[in-house]
């Protein structure tokens, strides 16, 4: 667990008391913490502090979390952070919108200190997950694990971490069919409660970026990676 300490975190919320609460508890655990009060500030600070994890509210003045997330995900000049939305909005459409923008996860508020620490540590462990992929998945598709970037037909595309991890799972054993339960367990883990629509959203986003030929749906079973 010690190797997780020292990671840089960026907390983004327009309520100062929430920032103070989160900062206090995370700094006490040894994390380096920076804060921003809206999406505009967050976008600027990502370039300056290179956070491993961003915990960001959705509803904020000047620029909301969804727009900030979209801008960060398009930046090819940074090592892409994990982005988790901190929100009290638990509606399904809100979570889908977040995943569409490139978010990796949600942290619901209010949240207890120990649960907060556990959640942050769980998210950061994803950075250290071993990779079983070769650098080249096919002649036209290559990966860059450090930046969560793929290169498709010589075009560089940044993937949100959950999309990358889903691709990583499927492509680690081309031809193997993974059912939904396996995907949820391996990619999202037991610490996160998500619905099956979450998988559908991520598969659709991957297909939009890769094309339809790489990920095949096996009706009534799950998904498999095909070397195009």
193 and 170 housed in the same domain:
yes
146 and 35 housed in the same domain:
no
CB 42 within 8 A of CB 7: no
147 and 113 housed in the same domain:
no
Q: Nearest-5° angle of CA 161, CA 91, CA 15?
A: 75
43 and 84 housed in the same domain:
yes
Which of residues 97, 128, 159 is at a domain's end? 128
Per residue in 64-76, pLDDT (tens digit) is 999 999 899 888 7
What CATH number does residue 153 fall under? 1.10.10.10
Per residue in 143-160, pLDDT (tens digit) is 777 667 788 888 888 888
Which of residues 128, 154, 177 is at a domain's end? 128
81 and 172 housed in the same domain:
no
Is residue 156 included in any domain, yes or no?
A: yes
Is residue 136 included in any domain, yes or no?
A: no
114 and 147 housed in the same domain:
no
Which of residues 128, 150, 175 is at a domain's end? 128
CB 12 within 8 A of CB 68: yes
186 and 108 housed in the same domain:
no
Is residue 200 included in any domain, yes or no?
A: yes
**Cα–chain center distance at 36:** 19
User: Measured between alpha carbons, how far apart are the two ends of the chain, in Å?
Assistant: 39
111 and 37 housed in the same domain:
yes
**Cα–chain center distance at 228:** 26
For the chain, how many structural domains are there in total? 2
Is residue 42 included in any domain, yes or no?
A: yes
Q: Which residue range forms the structural domain that includes residue 71?
A: 2-128
- The residue whose two tokens read 């691709």 is 167
163 and 191 housed in the same domain:
yes
Is residue 56 included in any domain, yes or no?
A: yes
Q: What is the mean pLDDT of the chain?
A: 82
Question: pLDDT class for 1, splitting at 50, 70, 90?
Answer: very low
62 and 168 housed in the same domain:
no
Is residue 135 included in any domain, yes or no?
A: no
44 and 123 housed in the same domain:
yes
178 burial via Cβ count (<10 Å: 0-12, 13-18, 19+): buried
**pTM (predicted TM-score):** 0.64
Per residue in 104-133, pLDDT (tens digit) is 788 887 888 888 898 898 888 766 554 444
Is residue 209 included in any domain, yes or no?
A: yes
Is residue 121 included in any domain, yes or no?
A: yes
Q: Does residue 46 have a pLDDT over 90?
A: yes
111 and 148 housed in the same domain:
no
Q: Name the helix (H) or strand (E) containing 32.
A: strand 32-36
What CATH number does residue 68 fall under? 3.40.50.2300
């Amino acid at each position: 667990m010690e190797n997780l300490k020292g990671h840089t975190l960026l907390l983004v919320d327009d309520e100062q008391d929430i920032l103070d609460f989160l900062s206090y508890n995370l700094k006490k655990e040894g994390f380096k913490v920076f804060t921003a009060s809206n999406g505009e500030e967050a976008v600027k600070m990502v370039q300056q502090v290179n956070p491993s994890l961003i915990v960001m509210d959705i509803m904020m003045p000047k620029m909301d979390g969804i727009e900030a997330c979209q801008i960060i995900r398009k930046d090819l000049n940074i090592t892409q952070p994990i982005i988790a939305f901190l929100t009290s909005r638990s509606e399904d459409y809100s979570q889908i919108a977040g995943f569409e923008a490139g978010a990796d996860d949600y942290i619901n508020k209010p949240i207890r200190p120990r649960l907060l620490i556990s959640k942050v540590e769980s998210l950061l462990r994803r950075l250290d997950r071993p990779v079983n992929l070769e650098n080249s998945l096919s002649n036209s598709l290559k990966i860059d694990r450090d930046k969560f970037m793929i290169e498709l037909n010589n075009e560089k595309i940044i993937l949100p971490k959950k999309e990358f991890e889903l691709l990583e799972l499927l492509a680690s054993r081309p031809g193997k069919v993974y059912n939904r339960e396996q995907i949820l367990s391996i990619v999202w883990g037991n610490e996160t409660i998500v619905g099956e629509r979450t998988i559908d959203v991520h598969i659709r986003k991957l297909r939009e970026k890769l094309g339809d030929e790489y990920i095949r749906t096996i009706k009534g079973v799950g998904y498999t990676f095909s070397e195009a």
